[in-house]
Amino acid sequence: MAILSRMARLLKQHFFLDRIPSHASVLEIGCGEGWVRSYLKQRGVLDYTGIDIEPPASIVGDIRDWESLGIERASKDVVIAFEVIEHVDCIQACVAILKSRGYLMATSPVPRCDTVLSWMERVGINQQRTSAHVNLLSLQELSQFKPVHFKKPAGIVQWAILRKRA
């Protein structure tokens, strides 16, 4: 794992995951090898579901097919989408899955800085992308959500905790 990716993981634990109460119902989109699940389990969060297009995930499939995959509407307190939104337009799925006033916790490149990230991947500073970035957007400008916490680490990525508007 690239050094920046390791550092980012530790910072994400503090900025995002430590804010999730143990009683929360959580869905992680793009769960990969499951580091978020392991961390949340250690913190006592037991109602966790991970979805990814490849195993090992609780649900293997595309988040845009959430209804056919058995995910219920308005069933989750928190949806986590770390480094996912730039790959697939899943905002409407997140809105549908979140309970009223639930939280979307997301990371994504700052749209104008994606070429910098691509260079960092090529030289081994950052992890390689798994697919093209086809959905670059500003997380603060999503009309379905109210920004609660927002930051731009190094000015090239955006981290947001967004609350679903009622």
Residues 116-141: what's their mean pLDDT?
A: 70
- Name which residue leads in pLDDT, 12 or 135: 12
- Name which residue leads in pLDDT, 108 or 155: 108
Range of the domain at 106: 3-164
Output the pLDDT for position 13.
98
**Contact of 77 with 27, CB cutoff 8 Å:** no
Q: Kindly report, residue by residue over 12-56, the tens digit of the pLDDT.
A: 999 999 999 999 999 999 999 999 999 999 999 999 999 999 999
* Closest of 124, 133, 23, 32 to residue 77, by C-alpha: 23
Output the pLDDT for position 19.
98
Residue 108 in this model has a pLDDT that exceeds 60: yes
Instruction: Give me the chain's average pLDDT, please.
Output: 90
Query: Which residue, chain included where needed, has tokens 């992308």?
Result: 129
CATH of the domain at 104: 3.40.50.150
Output the pLDDT for position 9.
92
Tell me the pTM. 0.89
Q: Which amino acid is at 85?
A: I
Quick one: how far is CA 2 from the chain centroid?
Answer: 19
Residue 134 in this model has a pLDDT that exceeds 70: no
Q: Kindly report, residue by residue over 55-68, the tens digit of the pLDDT.
A: 999 999 999 999 99
Q: Which amino acid is at 142?
A: L
**Contact of 165 with 144, CB cutoff 8 Å:** yes
What band does 131 get if pLDDT is binned at 50, 70 and 90? Answer: low
The total domain count for the chain is 1
Residues 103-121: what's their mean pLDDT?
A: 77
Output the pLDDT for position 2.
60
